[in-house]
Amino acid sequence: MWEFLLRYFFISPDRVFKETLMLDRENGRHIRDVLRMRIGDTLQVSDGSGLVYRVKISGFPDGEVSCVILGTSSIPDSCSLRITLLQSVPKGKRMEWLVQKAAEIGVHDIIPIYMERSVRILDPERTGHWLKRWQRIAQGASRQCGRPDFPRIKDPVMLHEAVNQVDHVPLKIFFDENEKVRTLRKVRNACPEPGSIALLVGPEGGISREEAGLLNEHGFIPVSLGGLILRSETAGILSAALVRYEWGAADPAGKPVSIGR
């Protein structure tokens, strides 16, 4: 899916300077202790947006890695379709698994959401911890599969806030167990080149009638995943994979769409 990048690391843009950049201690441990790289070795570093730096290691100050920039290139995401996944937060460590697989599949943004039947509400004092952990998992999975970017994990929000965040997306879908007619293939045939898609996956208890009404008001289209009864995180990854399969080769058009049955 993506060009494989050997020794590929992510960096915050504020750690990139005119002719040098500095990788943090977490990257430093992996570079120095796992890969056994030394001063003078070269590697590739991305700022997470597709801009990649070819650099040479110049030192290991205080456990970090100082590098001299040898060249810069822009690597476009070969997955032209931009996917935003609005995911009801599942129990335990299932969200970690979902973030990892979403990164591998090619999801661009993940918005954790709370709904009426959600089984997990994060402790506000621990939300920052979980966001940092999920973001690290997303970066690690992206680095492993050679993505030039990684999914951005947004702050968890209530459903009504989440739908406002994706109002600009031309095609919005939610998977509804009560929908029996409209399939993903039918939507694909009616809208072959949306450019960007927002997918919403509710909790295992399902989406309430009031929530379905709110989604309809914001232009979300109910779609069937068939007769399967799935865990929320399984449905999230399955839906993203199916969307990638159906629209993976489409070029972005960015036009709003209206889909009938």
The pair of three-digit structure tokens given for residue 228, joined into one six-digit string: 């399967």
Domain shared by 96 and 65, yes or no: no
Position 157 confidence tier, pLDDT thresholds 50, 70, 90: very high
Domain shared by 70 and 93, yes or no: no
**What domain count does the chain have?**
2
Domain shared by 50 and 153, yes or no: no
Domain shared by 23 and 122, yes or no: no
Q: Are 122 and 130 in contact (CB under 8 A)?
A: yes
Q: Does residue 252 fall inside a structural domain?
A: no
Domain end call among 35, 55, 74: 74
Q: Does residue 109 fall inside a structural domain?
A: yes
Q: Does residue 258 fall inside a structural domain?
A: no
Domain end call among 74, 94, 109: 74
Domain shared by 95 and 158, yes or no: yes
Q: What is the torsional sign of CA 217, 220, 221, 227?
A: negative
Mean per-residue pLDDT, 203-227: 91
Domain shared by 47 and 135, yes or no: no
Q: What is the pLDDT of residues 63-99, one digit of tens each?
A: 999 999 999 988 665 567 899 999 999 988 899 999 9
Q: Record the pTM.
A: 0.80
- Any idea which of 24-28, 131-135, 148-152 has the lowest mean pLDDT? 148-152
CA 173 to CA 243: how far, in whole Å? 10
Q: Does residue 259 fall inside a structural domain?
A: no
Which of 110, 83, 85, 90 has its CA nearest to residue 233? 90
Strand 51-59, strand 109-114: pairing: unpaired
Domain shared by 34 and 63, yes or no: yes
Domain shared by 91 and 56, yes or no: no
Which of 182, 151, 171 has its CA nearest to residue 87? 151
Domain shared by 186 and 234, yes or no: yes
Does residue 226 come out as left (phi exceeding 0), alpha (psi in the -120 to 50 range) or beta?
left
Domain shared by 43 and 152, yes or no: no
Residue 228: its pLDDT value, please? 76
Domain shared by 143 and 173, yes or no: yes
Q: What percent of the chain has pLDDT over 70?
A: 90
Q: Does residue 86 fall inside a structural domain?
A: yes
Q: 180 lies in which domain range?
A: 82-247
Which of 215, 125, 235, 209 has its CA nearest to residue 162? 215
Q: Does residue 3 fall inside a structural domain?
A: no
Domain shared by 31 and 86, yes or no: no
Amino acid letter at 154? Answer: K
User: What are the start-end ranges of the H helices in 9-119?
Assistant: 25-29, 94-105
Q: Does residue 15 surpass a pLDDT of 60?
A: yes
What CATH number corresponds to the domain at position 38? 2.40.240.20
